[in-house]
Amino acid sequence: MKMKCWGASGFCIFGGDGPFRRWIPGLLGMLIAAGPVFAGEVIVRLAEGVEVATRTAPSDPLLSNSPRIQQVLEKYAPSRIRPLFTRHRNRLPESLRRVQVWDIGSPEQAERAVRELADLPEVIYAEPNRAFRITQTGVTLPDDPDFGQQWYLSMIGAPQAWQITRGSAQVIVGVIDTGVDYNHEDLRGQLWINAAEDLNNNGVRDSLDFNGIDEDGNGYVDDVIGWDFTDAPRFPDGGDFLDPDNDPMDEFGSGHGTPVAGIIAAAQNNGRGISGIAPGVRVMALRAGTASGFLEEDDVAEAILYAVENGCQVVNLSFGDVAISYLLRDAIRYGIRRGVMFVAAAGNGGNATPTYPAAFEETISVSAVAEDGSLAPFSSYGSTIDLAAPGQEIYAPLIGDQYGAVNGTSFAAPVVSAVLALIRSQYPHWSAEQVKGALLAGTTEAGVFGWDIFFGHGIVNAYRSLIGGEQGFAEILYPEANGGTAADTVAIVGTAFSPNLRGYRLFYGMGETPGEYVPIAEVFGEQVVRDTLALWQTTGLPDTGYTL
């Protein structure tokens, strides 16, 4: 069968004030290596009309209305079958409402069950419940914390940006991570507070807020300052790894979610520590990672739903795995449809291997640069990178009122999340596409002119993004990166708009870094938002990879 695959690289839009070029990176080729499967659990999305009974104890029967699924159940006898997102069920789209987790026990048996389930028409997808690893390298502790330690603020134009906005408390950035040290001196007063659960209205989490009642009816009791979604019995460690609860405290070493939160929104002008890039916004603490730094994807997915339904406009994802998670993709898509922007760390592999969720088309993928503007030696890169941000020797808060330098794309991602929060604060009525357009249009060139696999569109710059006003924006949503087709006509779906739009052009080239591009279409006088941009006639093209 004829098969063509592609990476959705991009196209340019042009307006009355001259060309506006945004090359949107994509992914070429098939995933080869997958991350380790630890949990022995399988995530299953059932097709419409297919039912599998929940199972909470070995005495409960294994029941399905599908004979083929019944055979799989009896063969692998999962000790527990539980539905995901029970608190959100009535509000969710079909793609998330029919998802279950089966506890098979043995990782090897779980992988066999995945292969058998994936072949059944009654199953939309089946995948192992993998664990992500946070993307951090070493941490050092200097003796004298100081604003002057934050070299990255001048690189991204933060002091100039603060003359325009320091962020609005109405803008909430969700940090899905190992938790946040909410008692840290530089984070007190900077975190999102659930007003309905803050019974004494003092703006902090304290014992007087806990009465065992779900005041706001969101399904989470006493979630004053966020939630701990961690339910990882197969990752026992010295911390809180077993039961979800209302305490999202960071327990990872000297901290991982804590420096991420501090980079975004540490207090400013308080005589302590550092300044966050967007000190006026609020951070929502969403713990989905253990004290050992493992985040199970079902816990992450539920954290995403909580963030979306409780008002986050930006969500930071500083972790990843080389294996694709369809559950996580669907949860992110749910947020995208609600106008939420997702920022993800590209990974610390120092190579071009794609890491998810950063490699999803829906996320903003961030590589890391050093103080001299070069790509950090540990940073991953490749065709899915959107832009770069400082990520080496980033001075930030650590657990226990400490400070230190942290390294990794984990800490480049929150720089971008903070800049998005500043743009959203300044332009609250813009769409997510307009905000992302301003983010990318404001980048400073690095590497080759235009887009490249190391820096994407360039290095993030808060000031340039704020003063640029409304910018054009272009992206390709379909064909999806890492996809393929046997069709002779492919509908290219995406977005192309600009205040001064005259038209847009689409091209394709052979391979991941084409030597030349061939025109597909040139369209004048038409703005497109998540609709068909053009039809690509592929008849006669060789069976290989292409970049759009």
Residues 148 and 237 in one domain: yes
Residues 506 and 388 in one domain: no
Asked whether the whole model's pTM tops 0.95, one would answer: no
Q: Is residue 330 part of a domain?
A: yes
Q: Is residue 383 part of a domain?
A: yes
Residues 102 and 206 in one domain: no
CATH number at residue 238: 3.40.50.200
- Domain with 508, as residue range(s), is 4-30+473-547
pLDDT at 25: 30
- Going by pLDDT thresholds of 50, 70 and 90, the confidence category of residue 497 is low
Q: Is residue 91 part of a domain?
A: yes
CA 294 – CA 130 distance, rounded (Å): 9
**Which residue in 480, 441, 447, 486 sits closest to 464, CA to CA?**
441
Q: What is the pLDDT of residues 389-440, one digit of tens each?
A: 999 999 999 999 999 999 999 999 999 999 999 999 999 999 999 999 999 9
Q: Is residue 465 part of a domain?
A: no
The neighbour count for residue 275, using CB atoms within 10 Å, is: 21
Cα-based distances in Å from 339 to 76, 291, 309, 312, 423: 40, 31, 11, 9, 14
**Which residue in 8, 136, 12, 40 sits closest to 410, CA to CA?**
136
Q: Which residues, listed in sequence order, are joined to residue 189 by a DSSP beta bridge?
A: none
The neighbour count for residue 280, using CB atoms within 10 Å, is: 19
Boundary-marking domain end, from 426, 441, 458: 426
Q: Is residue 435 part of a domain?
A: no
CA 475 – CA 135 distance, rounded (Å): 27
CA 82 to chain centre: 25
CA 462 – CA 464 distance, rounded (Å): 6
3-state secondary structure of 164: coil
Residues 237 and 348 in one domain: yes
State the average pLDDT for the chain. 85
CA 111 – CA 218 distance, rounded (Å): 35
Please identify every residue annotated as catalytic.
177, 256, 410
Query: 20 with 14: CB under 8 angstroms?
Result: yes
How many domains is the chain partitioned into structurally? 3
Residues 334 and 385 in one domain: yes
At 356, which amino acid appears?
A: Y
Residues 294 and 161 in one domain: yes
Answer whether residue 8 shows pLDDT above 50: no
Q: Is residue 125 part of a domain?
A: yes
Residues 313 and 337 in one domain: yes
Residues 226 and 80 in one domain: no
Q: Is residue 440 part of a domain?
A: no
Residues 203 and 75 in one domain: no
Residues 99 and 147 in one domain: no
Residues 195 and 153 in one domain: yes
Please indicate whether residue 405 or residue 543 has the higher confidence score (pLDDT).
405
Mean pLDDT within 13-40: 35
